[in-house]
A and B are shown apart, each in its own frame.
Chain A
Amino acid sequence: MRDMLCDTASSLFVRNLRVVRNGKALLNVSRLSLDGPGPTLILGPNGAGKSLLLRCLHGLIEPDQGRVEQDGTPLTDRHKAQQAMVFQQPVLLRRSVAANLDFVLKRQGLPRGARKLRIESLLAEGGLEGKARQPARSLSGGEAQRLAILRALALDPETLFLDEPTSALDPNATQMIERMILRASSRGVRIVMVTHDIGQARRLAADIVMMQGGHVVEHGLAKQVLNAPQSDAARRYLAGGLVT
């Protein structure tokens, strides 16, 4: 979709990426393109290296070998500034809901009035109207995760990484977050999201990356991967459903 909207689509690409700890290769991905036509969902069992991959893509971890490329060059600080990440455990500042958003907007140098308007529209986007002054740390799990997503969106990112943003949430809270993600995607934000929820992958994904043991075992359009997986690993994971 991004391509079709001719959003001067920048490319995000992984080349021969290896992360080694204590002599063990935790991540070993020879090539992976993250320029699908919509949200890319990374699926796989616990310990598959999904979070590690996301951290590499966002430049939080320097790989021991290989690299992440954007627009054909190794990831630069400028590229990183156009990415945002929502962590599995939302890390909210010990401030009010509005101040968490203001923190990001202020760093972008927006004047006060513009920040106020932006905060209002963001809160509306996340269904957090009326919570502006509440301490962020007192939000419920779903609200906290929504705020974390809003704060990421406040950066106006080109790419948004999400690490199991709904893994601890009930179906209702999950649905609100999925809608936010789909709206961002349709505005042209590249979504790369980790999940272990196959249903969620079915609902959101344009393409799916299946991981196991630090490897990408399968990557393809969602329908294809979900309905006709090619690899044994993917077949087993999908057959196991949510359990793994």
Chain B
Amino acid sequence: MALILNGDAELWAIVLLSLKVSIFAVLIAALIGMPVGAALAVARFPGRRAMIVLMNALMGFPPVVVGLLVYLMLSRSGPLGVLELLYTPTAMIIAQVVLVTPIVAALTRQVIEMLAEEYSEQLRSLGVSRLASVPVLLWDARLALITALLAGFGRAIAEVGAVIIVGGNINHVTRVMTTTIALETSKGNLALALALGAILIGIAIAVNAMVSAVSLRAEQEGLRHA
């Protein structure tokens, strides 16, 4: 615990990198996952059901496998090898985006579909087209979507398998909280591992508190599906 209280520079660099990687990953996942989820909820096109099944399957994909696939894409001989991203924070962000996007998309679809059912006649009555209804639905589902993003962040920050494969756990470059805990524990350096573990738990609690705050807010505003 002394490490936390003394503001150990190495420890905080690791925490900061973790937060940076996961926050970036969640933001990118939101930019991809929310429109995709909303489109799946509102549009009717062939292959829609298949896409929903695929998305739900991706949501439960083992992180290690996602790491492996991203590794293969980014490795020197892979299709994106020329970008030389392997063992960089960017590679870790990519892996987490792949992990989190299906979660965001699936939850978005669920929420938007429910809301669309409730709103559809009213919006049609007001002359709002199907396409124009998407931003309306996204905005009115905002509290539920924030919850979805928090869930995605929770998964990203706590994940170890994928980032260790594509990041390589390089000191001062790609060491994040989870990978450091794994490494330091195996080396017997329990102090650093425990300190990081405590911070990770603190983050998890903070995320949960935010989820509660959001749903309390939703209740106060009389929102049922949020």
Contact = CB atoms under 8 A, between A and B. Distances in A.
Given A87-B121, A91-B118, A135-B221, 16 more contacts: A58-B125, A60-B121, A85-B125, A91-B119, A91-B122, A93-B136, A94-B141, A94-B142, A94-B223, A94-B226, A95-B140, A107-B127, A107-B128, A135-B222, A137-B223, A155-B126
Interface of B: 118-119, 121-122, 124-128, 136, 139-143, 220-224, 226
Please name the 3 residue pairs, one residue from A and one from B, whose CB atoms are nearest each other, closest first. A137-B222, A135-B221, A91-B122
Interface string A124-143: 00000000000111110000
B164 to A, nearest CB: 41
Given A94-B226, A95-B140, A84 B221 contact: no
A80 interface: yes
A55 B28 CA distance: 42
A81 interface: yes
A80 B129 CA distance: 13
Interface residues of A, number: 22
A182 interface: no
A139 B139 CA distance: 20
What does DSSP make chain B's interface, helix, strand, loop or mixed? Answer: helix
A204 to B, nearest CB: 22
Contacts of A103: 126, 136
Interface of A: 55, 58, 60, 77, 80-81, 84-85, 87, 91, 93-95, 103-104, 107, 135-139, 155
A91 B117 CA distance: 11
Contacts of A77: 127
B191 to A, nearest CB: 48
Contacts of A138: 220-222
Contact of A137 (B125, B141, B221): B221
A93 B116 CA distance: 11
A80 B119 contact: no
B126 A104 contact: yes
